[in-house]
Structure 1
Amino acid sequence: MTSGALRTTSAGLPGSADPLVTAYDLAVLDLDGVVYVGPDAVPGAADALARARTAGMALAFVTNNASRPPQAVVDHLVRLGVEAHLDDVVTSAQVAARMLADRLPAGSPVLVVGGEGLRITLVENGLRPVGTMDDAPVAVVQGFSPDMTWRLLAEGSRAVRAGLPWIASNLDMTFPTPHGPAPGNGALVGAVAAAAGRRPDDVAGKPAPGSFHEAARRNSSTRPLVVGDRLDTDLEGAVNAGMDGLVVLTGVSTASDLLLCSRAVRPTHLGRDLDALHVAHPAVDPQDVDGRTTATSGGAAVAADGDVLSVVRPGDDALDLLRAGCVAAWTVVDAGRTPDVTGVLAALAALEPDAAWAR
């Protein structure tokens, strides 16, 4: 399996002369913050994905939310007008269950610190989900559930203290809701870890590469593109999986996150939303202009004066300004320093004062 071979090893953005729907054969899509937020679709997402399928791009929906079985994810997507099938969905619960099935004898009891999504996929993989230590589990699996109780966390802590192998579906510290971030599975795992005195033995979901590789395997993809809104899970996972990544600005990560990010979480492409799949993306590289490292995208140009970023030209497109700002900032980050990005953020806010991401 190979990616689109566009990922850059420099501080630049490699761009794509072709629309991403033709440059890649598969979009590996995060859900929360990309396709929907809570129960509601991101505006325009269903139409953008339908056009991507029509253009010949396969779609896979990869989620770290282990609380729902794949059919529930499919049903949610269909209600929002997004075509989806069971094989299109890869959950962290599925990856965790497969990891356990590869390590344990068939029929082994596994303590589930989580919800229905984990229990169903354990059964599908030949294992027996249990809810207490009285059932003599041989391993522990923990995933997000909005119905998590103190008693279940306490039972998980008891099992982990006893030394049972412990797999977490994911370590996302927050979970997106229409009212803002709420505690995610990482926070709940932290509660068990604090009580038990150790961390999980393994993590199934993003940013580990397993979910991305599973999506590519199912679709026989040779040119997958990861699409996400979070640098610390989606884009770090893309880097770990050796795949190119598109970050969209409809979810968690903001302009300041992008400007200050390290190579470990750095995207290949930037877009406002899923319409970014249908356009070419400019290549942006740092250049030496009058003794300053300067990056230009469209009508926007940003220079690095030492560690301070200066907006040479804001242009009229906030996304071009963000691209130029990122490339200029990354030259400072890659030198081991922290850039002062206040001028870029002020210019972005002036161009798009109502955009939540422009901060």
Structure 2
Amino acid sequence: MSTNSPLALTTLNIATRQSPLALWQAEYIRDRLLALYPELTINLLKIVTKGDKILDTPLAKIGGKGLFVKELEQALFSREADIAVHSLKDVPMQLPEGLMLGVYCKRASPTDAFVSNTYSTIDELPQGAVVGTASLRRQCQIKAYRPDLQIKTLRGNVGTRLGKLDAGEYDAIILATSGLQRIELDARIRSELDIDTCLPAVGQGALAIECRTDDAQILQLLAPLNDDKARIRLIAERALNRHLQGGCQVPIAAFAVLQDDSNANNDAHGNNDSGDSLWLRGRVGTEDGSQLLKFEKRITLSGSQSDKEAQANQLGIDVATLLLDNGAGTILAAIYQSDE
């Protein structure tokens, strides 16, 4: 542990949304930085975004999850904030010029959590049961798995969503496992959806730190928080989504795993990143689940970290190309047209 910051910096301002989960994320990064640089003064700049204000409309209708980061990015441009902490799955694939993701943190559980007061698994739900989610990705995969279920839009922070479940508006709701775990609501998780049933969102379970590209001091300060192996996986996933020209709120799923040759050192979530074989799975589906395209590819990584990141990026493009060659573009175009 360093007892002195390597920089002349004495104060750091972190932009964050005000939801309990967003504040947990910002406080987690603050505490990690303070452990490294105890002499720093770190402030949280709490911001209400447009996405937090509009709660009665599906995200796809109002511009997607980029609405949760725009105001934070404005704080970076105005230099009110030095960094912004995000759940990576909320970060648009294209960042404004002058900003970058300086850090990809070690990934937590990437899965989707099944939450219900009556049923333990998605398989136990009776025919016609009402399931709440704000995600078209979850909707299309759940409908592909259980066409009989009714999907009802669910917006709001975690507490709001759980409150609607408890009020009887839904038989079950689907939330990110990592989000519930981070704010100590593990007890509400009845089960985790199998990754083969519901492939995760791009970047789900990972935190990222956004900063200005020209701020070398901040990048140096943040460097110890970066997880090289998570970064490789997440670059592949985001490259797939970017090549599909997908936003955050579209029925696109991607999940990358680093494996060794024997596959003996990887858990079910691919979190024991011990090898140099990168496996990327991607999916695109219709909102009603009637079509669900699935493609994957494995490559062997080699060279330096930057070489491996370039190979991961190309892998994302390759799997996206497979999806596009088999009809993903038509599916996505129809969804974008319906949202206009």
Report the TM-score, using the length of structure 2 for normalisation.
Answer: 0.30
Report the TM-score, using the length of structure 1 for normalisation.
Answer: 0.29
Largest Rg, 1 or 2: 1
